[in-house]
Amino acid sequence: MPRPHGFSYRRHGDGTVVVTHGAHTAAVLRGERAERFLEEVERGDAQLVMARWTGNYKRGNERGARAHPRNQG
């Protein structure tokens, strides 16, 4: 699976963090969740962290899984 790319985030003065993917807002985090997100971004690969926090990390084989015989009827 290719590495995620295209994510960025902005920190606002009120503590809100807005995560975008391309030109679209992917997540808005506030309070404790925003703090945990920022700590995790600083420690790890920022693109992977943002993909996981926004739910955009599940891309690839699950689309083909619909056609698998095990998932039919």
- At 30 the pLDDT is 97
Residues contacting 64, CB < 8 A, separation 6+:
none
**Residues 5 and 49: beta-carbon distance below 8 Å:** no
- At 5 the pLDDT is 83
Tokens encoding 69: 């015989």
Q: Is the pTM of this model over 0.85?
A: no
The model's pLDDT over 9-68, given as tens digits with 9 standing for 90+, comes to 999 999 999 999 988 999 999 999 999 999 999 998 999 899 889 886 655 555 666 677
Q: How far apart are alpha carbons 60 and 44 in whole angstroms?
A: 23
Residues contacting 14, CB < 8 A, separation 6+:
none
Q: How far apart are alpha carbons 33 and 60 in whole angstroms?
A: 27
